[in-house]
Structure 1
């Protein structure tokens, strides 16, 4: 699940009609006829942050220059906006030909079931996308007969994502708190910060999903990758229960922090995006969120990023994450030539060239950088790349809990404020998640 971001709407239409056939056109191994290039290409994405949007604008211009006659008609929507409007727009026939779509049962799974997305396996083979990204990453875009993680592939992502621990080095140093190496050290450091009158965690729960990411990240940091099968089964809809000791204990700890003054004062009325800006301005010692904020965070050199420290005894802790929303082709691509242009566009968006462009802007690409690439890596991105390598090597890349059912995100969002305010118990919070999940499993039969 991607991260909601600043609410803006962009519909730029580049009209570069230059007959400049770039040498880079050799990258596209599927031939594109002149007739194919004649149409506007409606594209929806969720890159609404200023830095992200600038990268997409640049990549769109480059693609148009390499494909004379193609005009990208771009619409940028927030994550929540996309969830509300995408399926309806495609169903109505006035949506995008190419779109970003959230993985999981509620979005990609539902659209596949209704025939609103086209499989991209031919393009994976023709362009070699499976050489750029691992099979375990591509599996997050597979659906077959309502089963997640198997069957045909319906998308591919351009960015990697990790939910981790942002920290302010200056605030920690002034408080005499060392960077935690274990979860136990993190807990002790939080207590020391609170004693000194420093807000241990920046938090905003009025909008977006910082609390969800915090609860999931803590729970998954307590799972060794060798024991990931239970979590995988839950996310891929194979069965199991959310009602576990680990989930309850994570919810209980976050509730204690909320009730005990460990969060920034007034967090209940602060949105996630505003909380991030407050953190960048030097408020709060820690913030749990994802690498999609690297572009903004790099403006404060005191901010660092690391994995949630694991408790003693966990050698390969998991981290919530994976990839950003997938690039997909909708059923509105009615003809093979249109589908091939869409395939070529997505290929460029997950190319090594695009990966280098993202890296230069401070973001974590899902596609590996070319051997001769020389991006200007920020300290944050360097940390993120090393974490990405380690997580993939350890098979420790975790999941967003809301992917587990079509309605799980709403269930979590409805109950998180109640948990943080103390109006429901941690047991009731987890039970609400499990009731949602069990109902989904029952409906699948």
Structure 2
């Protein structure tokens, strides 16, 4: 299946899927030609001549710790240092949750890293920008052609006003390496055992749960001790029930309330799944990695997770695993997704030009090929990329195209306010643990949301 057919760009969450692999010229245009007023925090003039930078050591923090993405990052770092022997990479890895809790302190210290992966939205990137901890990348976006490589709708996910108050507008503070959507992984043999087909719609998925349970199977695998899986479980459910327009409006403060019918309905679904045993017992004490391992070992028919688990599940399950982005209320696939954490240059970077050279190297067309070869989904797929139908890679590629083409991407819910990550993740744990009703859960989200809107 060739996934690079022509299509019109959707209203939100658009990702370009077919671009030339030809390298961009290092002197494509003068800095600032995009109309941005941003300038590097450092006084160093912008240059792409890496050899002129002398001996440089870049400390890089990332959360690419899992399976294929870790393999890709190691390979890209080795290739980078071979191509630029005067620039050494010292890699520091953190889990997503560890990165969230330690990065701001690290950026504020004297030995701050040079390049980091920053989570988009108000809680992380917005807070870093407000504190002056990240450099605007607009000058390098011009010389490396990032503004042309990625659609503006995509770039806006990594933009903030200089004061960190307005998301998706202002300066560019990061470039993303991977694309991602949250969907349903399914065990093909167990579905067949229960006489079921792969789910296409949310209704298919939900109708399968009692059938699987009656067949003696654990319907879903899930672990939320890391907190972030709760965002994916609730977010994918909300996206299908509310639709992309309404769910995206909630995240971007364009309209709606978290106490509306669809958010409450999604919360009610999660509570019911837990009460009925569709979610495994003790899930709030199980890590996401253990849940993925348990699913791979057949201890669950469905797993709601992101495409970043592709390489891990391909290796563990072979052809016995499939993936679906479920169709929602509009009849098209609508789900949580967008781009991976943004690669950003810190304000204390020892050599911002070397940092920009690195970011360009790990996000260009050649890097996309490395990502595909290691079982990952790059933001921009290689021009001639083909994925075999019936394979997990083929499922993910086709679903990625369909969601992107039809405008079904909903930004991650924790982007909504500076405190929404904590409010949402704690709330989902209490919701599925039976300590909070769906009404109490959605009211807590709305209180956080309203407080943020009042302060804007």
Give me the TM-score of the superposition, normalised by structure 1.
0.87
Q: Cα distance, 1:214 vs. partner?
A: 1.2
> 2:339 aligned with 1:323, yes or no?
yes
The answer as to whether partners of 1:206 and 1:271 remain within 8 angstroms in 2 is yes
CA distance in 2 between partners of 1:296 and 1:256 (Å):
29
Where do 1:361-440 residues align within 5 Å?
A: 361-371=374-384, 379-440=391-452
> Structure 1 residue 253: deviation in Å?
0.8
Deviates more, 1:48-57 or 1:377-386: 377-386
- The aligned length equals 412
Q: Within 2, Cα distance between the matches of 1:197 and 1:33? A: 60
The aligned counterpart of 2:240 is 221
* Equivalent in the alignment of 1:81: 98
Which deviates more from structure 2 when the two are superposed, residues 381-390 or residues 160-169?
Answer: 381-390
Secondary structure at the residue paired with 1:264? Answer: coil
Match of 2:325 in 1: 307
Asked if 1:65 is matched to 2:77, the reply is: no
Stretches of structure 1 lacking an aligned partner (at least 5 in a row): 1-23
Task: Kindly report the root-mean-square deviation, in angstroms, between the aligned alpha carbons of the 2 structures.
Answer: 2.1
Shift of 1:86: 1.2
Post-superposition Cα deviations, 1:343-367, rounded to whole Å, max 9, x if no partner, equal: 1110111111111101001110002
Q: Unaligned stretches of 5+ in structure 2?
A: 1-21, 28-46
Residue 141 of structure 1 corresponds to 158
Question: Counterparts of 2:349 and 2:142 in 1: how far apart (Å)?
Answer: 19
Deviations 1:330-349 (CA, angstroms, capped at 9, x unpaired):
10126xxx222111110111
User: Counterparts in 2 of 1:132-171, with a 5 A limit?
Assistant: 132-144=149-161, 145=163, 146-171=165-190
Deviations 1:139-183 (A, max 9, x none): 101111411111111111100010001000000101111222332
Provide the rounded CA distance (Å) in 2 between the counterparts of 1:377 and 1:44: 36
Partner of 1:294: 310
Match of 2:128 in 1: 111
In structure 1, the residue matched to 2:16 is: none
Change (3 A) 1:253 1:408: same
Alpha-carbon distance between aligned partners in 2 of 1:119 and 1:362, rounded to the nearest angstrom: 31
Per-residue deviation, residues 66-86 of structure 1 (Å, max 9, x unmatched): 112111111111111111111
Q: Cα offset for 1:55?
A: 1.3
What is the CA–CA distance in structure 2 between the aligned matches of 1:44 and 1:71, rounded to whole Å?
14
Alpha-carbon separation, structure 2, partners of 1:307 and 1:374: 19
Give me the whole-angstrom Cα distance separating, in 2, the residues matched to 1:368 and 1:202.
Answer: 30
Structure 1's 352 and 377: CA in aligned 2 closer, same or farther, altered over 3 A? Answer: farther
Answer yes or no: is 1:37 the counterpart of 2:58.
Answer: no
Paired with 1:108 and 1:377, the residues of 2 have a C-alpha distance of: 38
1: CA distance, partners of 2:95 / 2:358: 21
Q: Is 1:243 matched up with 2:259?
A: yes
SS in 1 for 2:308: helix
Q: Secondary structure at the match of 1:359?
A: helix
**Secondary structure in 2 aligned to 1:261?**
coil
Give 1:281's match in structure 2, choosing from 273, 297, 303: 297
Greater relative contact order: 1 or 2 (C-alpha under 8 angstroms, separation 6 or more)? 2
Partners of 2:51 and 2:433 in 1: CA distance = 60
1:352 equivalent among 345, 351, 365? 365
